[in-house]
Amino acid sequence: MSIKDIREGWYNYLKMGFNKKSIAPEFLKEVEKRANICKDCPELYTIPIDLEIVKGMCQKCKCVFPALIFAPNKRCPLGKWSV
Ligand code: SF4
């Protein structure tokens, strides 16, 4: 994951927290699809305590969930989802 992906992922994730309509509806559908796939993936480590904005981490790419699914050009390291 590039610095650009990290920046865009966090930016979109936090922006959506303030205003869900700030994310394009088509991309929001993609984000929801990615979220469902990640939640079922054995590579997703879920943090056992409530840290509000950080829910877990992908053990393959070491990216923070759910910010990782908000980066438009990010790819799943196992190819489970793409753009
Ligand atoms: S990004 Fe891919 S490998 Fe990582 S948790 Fe999501 S589905 Fe699993």
Would you say the CB of residue 31 lies under 6 angstroms from ligand 1? no
CB distance 60 to ligand 1 below 6 Å: yes
Partners of 54 in the β-ladder: 51
- Cα 71 to chain center, whole Å? 7
18 C-alpha vs ligand 1 centroid, how far in Å?
25
CA nearest ligand 1 atom 2, residue: 76
Q: Are 45 and 56 in contact (CB under 8 A)?
A: yes
Question: How many CB atoms neighbour CB 18 within 10 A?
Answer: 7
pLDDT tens, residue by residue, 18-70: 888 888 999 999 999 999 999 999 999 998 887 788 899 999 999 999 999 99
- pLDDT tier, 83 (very low <50, low <70, confident <90, very high otherwise): low
Whole-model pTM: value is 0.89
Gap between the Cα atoms of 53 and 11, Å rounded? 12
